[in-house]
Structure 1
Amino acid sequence: MFNNIPPITRNIIIINIIVFIISNLVYRDELFNALAAFYPFSPNFHSWQIITHMFMHGSLMHILFNMLTLWSFGPVLEQSLGEKKYLILYFISGLGGFFLFNLWNFIEVQQITSAMEALGLNVSEIYTKAAASYKGNMNITANTQEGVELSQSLYNVLRTPMVGASGAIFGVVAAFATLYPDAKLIFMFIPFPVKAKFILPIIIIVSIFLGFSGNVGGIAHFAHVGGALVGFLLALSWKKHLYRFH
């Protein structure tokens, strides 16, 4: 059955599985610090993380959900778009997720640092202590609850990377919904088929709400939105040149 999956989708799934096994069972800390996508102004950020984070997953459920979704929607798009456009769709959607997620991070960091500076706190010390290679003490100059909380918030942004193919996967789902809006989809938690064109706005609205509400739960909701928007725009621009299934 696996051999029947088109080559690009199949190879993406295989690479993700291999990286997941190695990064979670062998060199977890080293690979997560090197390959996961840190905030671009974090001392832990490296340019290659823009791509490599798409192959990193933090849990078995995370990679299962992403790869099953790719397996469900990817083959149709790979065959209809062709390998080149499908690859463009996948990786540009992933980049869109990275960009929007970190745009929100940038806004949050600006708010935190402005508040810290207003309290007379040393922002640069948090950047220094947030480096994965830092071996010194973790004492900070903040001596009020507000200062400690702000320092911790900044530290968390700088030390918490984004991992997963979710931006790319949401781009694939959005592209499918754009090209095949009347396709009926069946989900485990919905007892009846739903047309693809209704799924896309629900995904975006829910992700935006969760992102702004702060109910993140370790999930990069704005990465989902960024990937979905890119997938939608790319599919929309290609749509008139494609033969569609009936």
Structure 2
Amino acid sequence: MFNNIPPITRNIIIINIVVYVITNFFLYALGNFQLYSILSAYYPFSPFFKSWQIITSMFMHAPLGDGSGLMHIFFNMFMLYNFSFLENILGGKRYLILYFLSGIGAYVIFNAWEFVQVEIFARELESLGFNIYEYFSNTNQILKGSQESIATQKELIEKIIKIISTPLVGASGAIFGVLAAFATIYPNTKLMILFVPFPIKAKHLLIFSIVISLFLGYRGNDSGTAHLAHVGGALVGFLLAKIWRKHLYRFN
């Protein structure tokens, strides 16, 4: 069965699984989180950010002990497997472009919203007499004001620190791009989804997924899932498929 998967998709699945095994071996067998930190993608203005993380994060999943554990990589790889025939339709080169550009789009959209959040928190802190940027520049910043004001400042500082120190594991964003591309090219194809007892048209599944992701991302869901990264990946997949669909038969 595995040999029947088109080569690009097969290699992407293999890389994802190998990276997952190695990173979790370092994390649990050696007690070393460093590899997860190196390969996951941080906020672009974080001191932990490295440029290569935008690419390596596309092969990263939640660690074994992080709630979703194995289910995260299982569902992602299962989705890739089910839509692998899209590689034969688009061709290997375009499929590879789809995967990587969707992953980049996921990173950009997710961190654009994170940037907005950081700026909102920074302005609130500034109104309370605290400059977060000088704080990060090692300038002495003292919390001033009433106890209530100081408590608010501490809470806002913690929110900003959480944003810049929490890595993004971005495989889902790239895979959402694949889903969006399929739904754009074949919108009326009916799909059977795990735990759903009836078929759903691809376009309806995509719309539902985007609406839920937007809602949870805007609400600030604390599940650890980067919902807006899904939206970014899907947006890129949709745009690429709209462009390519006009010339689909010429590709083949």
Output aligned runs, 1:24-173, within 5 Å: 24-26=24-26, 28-58=32-62, 59-73=69-83, 75-124=84-133, 127=136, 141-142=142-143, 144-173=150-179
User: 2:80, 2:202 → 1: CA distance?
Assistant: 15
Deviates more, 1:171-180 or 1:209-218: 209-218
Residue in 2 that maps onto 1:237: 243
Instruction: Tell me which moved more, 28-37 or 87-96.
Output: 28-37
Measure, in 1, the Cα distance between the counterparts of 2:71 and 2:196: 20
8 Å CA contact retained: 2:106, 2:173? yes
Assess, with a 3 A threshold, how the Cα gap between structure 1 residues 60 and 236 changes in structure 2: closer, same or farther. Answer: same
1:243 Cα deviation after fit? 3.6
Q: CA deviation at 1:195?
A: 1.3
**Residues 48 and 126 of structure 1: is their aligned pair in 2 closer, same or farther, counting only changes over 3 Å?**
farther
**Structure 1 residue 20 corresponds to structure 2 residue 26:** no
Q: Are the aligned partners of 2:106 and 2:170 in contact in 1 as well (CA < 8 Å)?
A: no
Distance in 2 between the 1:230 and 1:104 partners? 16
Deviates more, 1:215-224 or 1:120-129: 120-129
Deviations 1:95-154 (A, max 9, x none): 11100000000000001111122222242476479xxxxxxxxxx844721011011101
Q: CA RMSD in A?
A: 2.0
Instruction: Give 2:11's aligned residue.
Output: 11
**In 1, distance between residues paired with 2:106 and 2:193?**
24
Kept in 1: contact 2:122–2:131 (CA 8 A): no
Matched residue, 2:65: none
Distance in 2, matches of 1:5 and 1:193, equals 23
Equivalent residue pairs, number: 234
- Aligned equivalents of 1:238 and 1:79: distance in 2? 14
Q: Distance in 1 between matches of 2:135 and 2:14?
A: 38
| Structure 1: segments with no counterpart, 5+ residues | 130-139
Q: CA deviation at 1:204?
A: 1.1
Q: TM-score, normalised by structure 1?
A: 0.89
Deviates more, 1:113-122 or 1:179-188: 113-122
Evaluate the alpha carbon distance shift between residue 63 and residue 125 of structure 1 in structure 2; reply closer, same or farther with a 3 A threshold. Answer: farther
Structure 2, unmatched stretches of 5+, are 63-68, 145-149
Identical residues among aligned pairs (%) = 57
How far apart are the structure 2 equivalents of 1:65 and 1:141?
Answer: 47
| Amino acid across the alignment from 2:26 | V
